[in-house]
Structure 1
Amino acid sequence: MALLTLDEAKAQLNLTTVTHDVELQAYVDSITAMVEWYVGPVEPRTVTETVSGRGLTLALAQIPVVSLTSLTPLLLGGLVLDVADLVVDNENGIIRRVTGDPFCGGPWAAVYTAGRSSVPPPTLNLAGRMLVQHLWRTQQGPGRPGLGGNDDYDVNQPVPGFGYAVPNRVLQLLQPYRLPPGVA
């Protein structure tokens, strides 16, 4: 599963030849990291991280979470927890024990899948299309027919906090999927 395919990018740019495919593929490949910086993992990936803490919950760093594979103690003699005895708040990456008991005896090695479990939401796909379109415009140069104007695609007008790379309309599409404060 990819955020955007080469064919989708070509359709967004109204390109019908293979002349620019290699160059355009580099743009397609680069936008996933830019979108994921703002919304978290889009494409599913396996993550292994050390999770520390005591209390009723543990927090995973990369959200959303598709599934938890294992939670293994890193200290000799630590309590091994069966994932069937754990509940994961997938949207927020919070792990709780089914029994409500607190976690103790950590730190743990958490292995899980982060990202989205199926095809990316259409809004994220559209944001990816529009981001490729914006980046493609930056290499076309000034004075190109049909590409001018002082809108948020104008490569000379930075978006506050994001420089020139991400236009306002893309940020607005990403907003419903934005990571909560403090999550990176």
Structure 2
Amino acid sequence: MALLTLAEAKKQLNITSDTDDDELQTYVDAVTPVIEEYIGPVEPREVTERLDAESGRRALVLRTTPVLSLTSVEPLLTGGITYPVDGLVLDPDTGEVRRRDGGWFRGLLLFTLQAGRTEVTPTVNLAARMLVQHLWRTQHPSRSGGLPGGGEDYSVGQPIPGFGYAVPNRVLELLAPYRLPPGSA
């Protein structure tokens, strides 16, 4: 599953030739980390995280969300406790993990998980296409066509902290319903 394909980007830009395919593929590849910085992993992948429960904790919160599944929870220190994943309860959106029996986690733990989404929603795909279009226009203004009178319909306005001027407000507005909760990375 890809956030955006080359064919989708070409359709968004009304490009019918193969002349710029290599360059355009670079743009397609570049938008994934930008969008995932805002909404978390889109394309499924394995992630490992180290979490500290040395003093004991009833719940731990994974930093990478959304979570598709937990694969394993292993101790990092010899003699530590292994927690079978079928004995855990996971909130995939917040990344909160609890023991099903209500017990405490203890020790330094290595979580292995599958993060990402089961599908790319049309809204997220549209945001990716619009971001490619915006970035393409910065390098190819003569081919991108603008508004009559030279106006620009991809104005960024005031930058969102952490995103600067590379991501237009309209892209961020499309992604807003999927935004990571505060404190997620």
TM-score by length of 1: 0.91
| CA distance 1:145–1:41, shift in 2 (3 Å) | closer
**SS at 2:19's partner residue?**
coil
Distance 2:113 2:29 in 1: 24
Could you tell me which of 68, 71, 74 is aligned with 2:70? Answer: 68
| CA distance 1:69–1:150, shift in 2 (3 Å) | same
What's the counterpart of residue 141 of structure 2?
Answer: 141
What's the counterpart of residue 47 of structure 2?
Answer: 47
Could you tell me which of 93, 96, 99 is aligned with 1:97? Answer: 99
Distance 2:182 2:160 in 1: 18
Alignment of 1:182 onto 2:183: yes
Q: Which runs of 5+ in 2 are unaligned?
A: none
Following TM superposition, by how much is the alpha carbon of 1:51 offset from its aligned partner in structure 2, in angstroms?
Answer: 1.2
Q: How many residues align?
A: 180
What's the counterpart of residue 107 of structure 1?
Answer: 108
More strand by share: 2
- Which is worse superposed, 136-145 or 49-58? 136-145
Distance 1:70 1:144 in 2: 48
Following TM superposition, by how much is the alpha carbon of 1:143 offset from its aligned partner in structure 2, in angstroms?
Answer: 9.6
Contact 2:146 2:152 in 1 (8 A): no
Following TM superposition, by how much is the alpha carbon of 1:32 offset from its aligned partner in structure 2, in angstroms?
Answer: 0.1
Q: Which runs of 5+ in 1 are unaligned?
A: none
Alignment of 1:7 onto 2:35: no
Following TM superposition, by how much is the alpha carbon of 1:49 offset from its aligned partner in structure 2, in angstroms?
Answer: 1.6
More helix by share: 2
What's the counterpart of residue 18 of structure 1?
Answer: 18
TM-score by length of 2: 0.90
**SS at 1:52's partner residue?**
strand
Residues 17-44 of structure 1 deviation map (CA, whole Å, 9 limit, x = unaligned): 1111111000000000000111111111
Distance 1:150 1:17 in 2: 25
